[in-house]
Structure 1
């Protein structure tokens, strides 16, 4: 007794996923880079409004680095401690006993979240198309 199965449609779908998977990885890297840039710029703008005269150089310490990832992308965004006043990042963002938190980075991230999510969802929606 033998069983035969026609796998043409399954093979075609696997091919679509292979091709679109590579395309999706490239698109995700672009979305993460754009999102990181937007968060960085938002954080800098927020910090410029809240840092005051004692931390006037702090906003320019905020930067981002893209981190390699085998199947997509990641970014690290925040104050660079090697830049002027970058070491104030934790104190300004989260506050202390004597200083209220500014949450400049958290607000910038929240402002970008919906657009970032929409772009990632659009990439996911394209995965099943040829």
Structure 2
């Protein structure tokens, strides 16, 4: 019985931790964007004046973001960008190492956008989309 209870608790805790609210952020003066625009921007499609920044690979917030916005897993995203680079169609967004680095970069770079966990949002950035 104790084993079953432990398994149930562990299952619930993993579900809760996977439900982090990811938000796309911009400088405090940034305008809101649509989910389809965000997908295009983060996949390097179309011509956008916005400059996307990514969190490092294997970051759970990055995984959650791409699952919700681009509908791509980490492996699919890696394959996508490998093909884009190989064919000369584009390069992946620049990477930052943490939520603090993302906020600093987005706040100080003109037309920059990125994503972080909603809990990390402060007055230095503006939430422009909640996917």
Structure ranking higher in strand proportion: 2
Q: TM-score range by the shorter chain?
A: 0.3 to 0.5
- Per the normalisation by structure 2, the TM-score is 0.34
Larger radius of gyration: 1
| TM-score, structure 1 as length reference | 0.35
Give 1 or 2: higher helix fraction: 1
